[in-house]
């Protein structure tokens, strides 16, 4: 019987390996084997294979050998192990932002818009006086008053009034306005600035004159910017050594325009600065040298003597220099600009005028008086703060802007 029992257990063990089931499943296997041995081997074989014991019917008891049961696996969700460092979340993909197309530079303001105040004072005044009537003696008296208040100067106003007397009697307002327009155009045509940036030497030396506050240093900076934009190499000379901050102002313009600035000490000799500027321009093969001067009148120092010294010093290395001598006048001063022009033209060979600040005044009619009194070409007019607002003077364009604003 012992032999039969052992054989039966062996067959069951082969069919259901207990080492795969664990010690807790061994007892039902042994019991089943004993029962089958007692009942006969034939009956067990005929009954078919014994079903394996159910593993999840009850939690297994602790093994008598002290081996703890294998714990059920715990589901994890994206938990990094100690051997694997936690990965930072991937940054969101960068969105490609389309670059804004470059905007074209704004077109320059129309000259007529910048001359509106002067136009209102002169042309608007003519319209209010002339109205819808024809010219007679009473209307000529009112017209004379308008012309004198337009800062044209006494001589110019008298000449314009005389022309209306000759050609305008009995004519209506539009015809009289046409007569005055033609007369003003003739006067300004004689001082048309011609070509803008022209060079007469290398370096082309420009001496700039004007009283303090006229916009002289700012005009130099804008003129330097225009030459630099044209591809010219420019050297600036800070010859106004007496006005506070004049040197610093010109140095700022030099940085802004990429131009070299030659400067001396505050209160130094302007002629020494002019001499150094010309020598530096020659050594550096510059195309243009622009020299600032002290903006003082004869009440502080004989102006003629100072300007004569500047001319001698500048011409020491360049016999034909200065090639241009520009006088800067502030249009806001009205007929006082005529007095300044008279003084400077008596002591220096002024070759061109620059009339500044025309956009902020109603006294721009003085340009007609300057043309009539001196006949000096008007090289540039300043009609705004920007570099592009220092414009070449064109007589036809100016008259059109004045009468059509």
- pLDDT value at residue 297: 59
Token pair 């081997």 in the structure block, residue: 41
pLDDT, one tens digit per residue, over 200-258 is 889 999 999 999 889 999 999 999 999 999 999 999 999 998 887 889 999 999 999 99
Work out the number of other CB atoms within 10 angstroms of the CB of residue 352: 19
Bridge-based pairing state of the strands 204-209 and 324-330? parallel
CA atoms of 171 and 180, how far apart (whole Å): 13
CA atoms of 260 and 253, how far apart (whole Å): 10
Q: Where are the alpha helices (DSSP H) in 105-215?
A: 111-114, 116-130, 137-148, 154-167, 173-189
pLDDT, one tens digit per residue, over 144-174 is 889 988 899 999 999 999 999 999 888 888 8
Question: Residue 238 has which token pair?
Answer: 């800070």
CA atoms within 13 A on the CB side of 208: 29
E strands, 267-340, in order: 288-291, 324-330
pLDDT, one tens digit per residue, over 333-390 is 999 999 999 988 988 899 999 999 999 899 999 999 999 999 999 999 999 999 999 9
Cα separation values, 62 from 37, 74, 303, Å: 29, 20, 120
């Amino acid at each position: 019987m012992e032999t039969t029992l052992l054989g039966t257990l062996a067959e069951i063990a082969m069919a259901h390996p207990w080492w795969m089931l664990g010690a807790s499943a061994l007892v039902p296997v042994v019991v089943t084997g004993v029962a089958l041995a007692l009942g006969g081997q034939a009956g067990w074989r005929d009954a078919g294979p014994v079903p394996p014991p159910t593993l999840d019917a009850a939690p297994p008891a602790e093994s008598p050998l002290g081996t703890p049961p294998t714990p059920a696996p715990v589901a994890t969700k994206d938990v990094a192990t100690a051997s694997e460092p936690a990965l930072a979340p991937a940054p969101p993909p960068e969105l490609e932002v389309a670059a804004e197309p470059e905007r074209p530079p704004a077109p320059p303001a129309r000259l007529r818009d910048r001359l509106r105040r002067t136009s209102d004072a002169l042309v608007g005044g003519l319209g209010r006086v002339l109205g819808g009537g024809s010219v007679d003696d009473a209307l000529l008296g009112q017209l004379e008053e308008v012309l004198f208040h337009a800062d044209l100067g006494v001589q110019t106003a008298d000449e314009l009034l005389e022309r209306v007397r000759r050609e305008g009697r009995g004519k209506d307002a539009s015809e009289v306005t046409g007569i005055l327009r033609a007369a003003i155009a003739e006067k300004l045509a004689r001082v048309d600035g011609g070509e803008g940036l022209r060079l007469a030497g290398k370096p082309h030396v420009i001496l700039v004159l004007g009283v303090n506050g006229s916009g002289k240093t700012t005009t130099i900076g804008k003129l330097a910017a225009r030459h630099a934009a044209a591809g010219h190499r420019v050297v600036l000379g800070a010859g106004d050594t007496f006005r506070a901050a004049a040197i610093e102002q010109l140095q700022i313009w030099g940085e802004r325009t990429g131009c070299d600035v030659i400067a001396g000490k505050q209160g130094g000799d302007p002629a020494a600065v002019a001499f150094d500027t010309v020598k530096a321009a020659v050594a550096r093969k510059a195309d243009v040298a622009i020299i600032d001067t002290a903006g003082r009148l004869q009440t502080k120092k004989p102006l003629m003597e100072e300007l004569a010294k500047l001319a001698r010093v500048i011409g020491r290395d360049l016999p034909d220099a200065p090639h241009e001598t520009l006088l800067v006048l502030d249009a806001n001063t009205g007929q006082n600009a005529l007095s300044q022009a008279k003084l400077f033209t008596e002591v220096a060979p002024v070759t061109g005028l620059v009339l500044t600040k025309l956009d902020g005044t109603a006294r721009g009619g003085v340009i007609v008086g300057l043309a009539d009194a001196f006949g000096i070409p008007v090289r540039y007019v300043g009609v705004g703060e920007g570099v592009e607002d220092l414009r070449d003077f064109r007589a036809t364009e100016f008259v059109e802007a004045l009468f059509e604003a």
